[in-house]
Amino acid sequence: MRFLENFPLAAFNTFGIRAKARYFAAPASEDELARLLRSVTARNLPLMVLGGGSNVIFGGDFAGLVIHPDMRGIQCLGETAEHYLIEAAAGEKWHDFVQYTLARNWFGLENLSLIPGTVGASPIQNIGAYGVEVTDRLHSLTAIEIATGCRHEFTHAQCRFGYRDSVFKQELRDRFIISRVRFRLLKTPAPRIDYGDIRQELVARHIDSPTPRQVSDAVIAIRSRKLPSPDVLGNAGSFFKNPVVGRAQLESLKADWPALVSYPQGEGAKLAAGWLIEQAGWKGRRIGPVGSYEKQALVLVNHGGATGGDVVCVAQAIQQAVRERFGVELEMEPQVYGGN
């Protein structure tokens, strides 16, 4: 397998940061990936896995090997009375996969339309949108252990999914490369439209009982209006997770801020991070090339030529502003690589 050297990463991260990888390889099969891992672990190279680069920030050049899983393929492995078991390879583009399933009447992923990135990354932070998360549909997955090149199977339970979280961001962080993901998709449509702006969009289209295709179209339309396309304005989607607070903190915040936007979550509540940032005066504001997006404060954008340092500087300024105003900590969603 060929290593590319001093590989430019600007086209491999949606924030559009110009960084380089010392080495870059794109294995197209599990065997190729396993062989690659066995050959590099002995060399002690720093290693990172890069899918579509839509949830990473490059703090600078990456002085090791970037592995870009490039396995392809989607297949139906079987069916029950209610479900199809569908397997997709890690390198498939997530949105294309969602559209492929809908075209074959395999339902359940429609709310997750137009999320950038790859199938292989989708379990990492348990991607979610409009009330549906990957955990709702994932059956199991296959991953290759970085230290050994050996193949492992993970059941749904072993992935330990949480809100924008999984075991692969916690105990097993940087230990496995996901190569294939299996989903249990529905034979009978069960549209979920009571979240965000979906119902409103369907009403505007005069649709009462939407098909999954119509839900997908509505989601695509809302997202296209509201979110900046990375092809036009570099970004990594929501830059911070919505913070979850306990009941006591929620009550105290609500006393001071009656308009606070929150949703019940476990014993406490999830706060809308975009609202906190807007109230802290950051919506549409920028420092140099990086700013908060004018239509959605939670998204940071690259107005051109941003470095990883510029991004971190703005992120920290926003975290400080929200901390000072509300006493709430915002945690970054994208992972930062390179630069040290």
Residue 227 binds to ligand FAD (criterion: CB under 6 A)? yes
Question: What are the counts of helices (DSSP H) followed by strands (DSSP E) for the chain?
Answer: 7, 20
| Least separation in angstroms between CB 212 and ligand FAD | 17
Output 26 or 322, the one with its CB closest to ligand NAP. Answer: 322
Query: C-alpha angle 226/229/230, rounded to 5°?
Result: 135
- Has 333 been annotated as catalytic? yes
Residue from 54, 113, 122, 164 carrying the catalytic annotation: 164
Segment near ligand FAD (CB under 6 A), from 3-11, 227-235, 273-281, 311-319? Answer: 227-235
Which residues touch 214 (CB under 8 Å, ≥6 apart)?
A: 202, 205, 207
Report d(CA 275, CA 282) in Å as an integer.
Answer: 10
Binding-residue total with ligand NAP (CB under 6 A): 16
Considering CB distances under 5 to 8 angstroms, the limit depending on partner class, which of ligand NAP, ligand FAD, none binds residue 52? Answer: ligand FAD
Residue 144 binds to ligand FAD (criterion: CB under 6 A)? no
Residue 175 binds to ligand NAP (criterion: CB under 6 A)? no
- Has 325 been annotated as catalytic? no
Relative to beta strand 176-186, strand 138-145 is: antiparallel
Report d(CA 179, CA 176) in Å as an integer.
Answer: 9
Q: How many residues does the chain have?
A: 340
Considering CB distances under 5 to 8 angstroms, the limit depending on partner class, which of ligand NAP, ligand FAD, none binds residue 272? Answer: ligand NAP
Output 100 or 195, the one with its CB closest to ligand NAP. Answer: 195
Name the H helices within the chain: 30-41, 94-103, 198-204, 212-226, 247-256, 273-279, 308-326
Residue 263 binds to ligand NAP (criterion: CB under 6 A)? yes
Q: What is the DSSP-derived secondary structure letter of residue 297?
A: T
Output 261 or 323, the one with its CB closest to ligand FAD. Answer: 261
Query: What residues line the site for ligand NAP (CB under 6 A)?
Result: 128-130, 195-197, 226-227, 237-238, 242, 263, 272, 274, 296, 333
Question: Catalytic residues, which ones?
Answer: 164, 238, 333
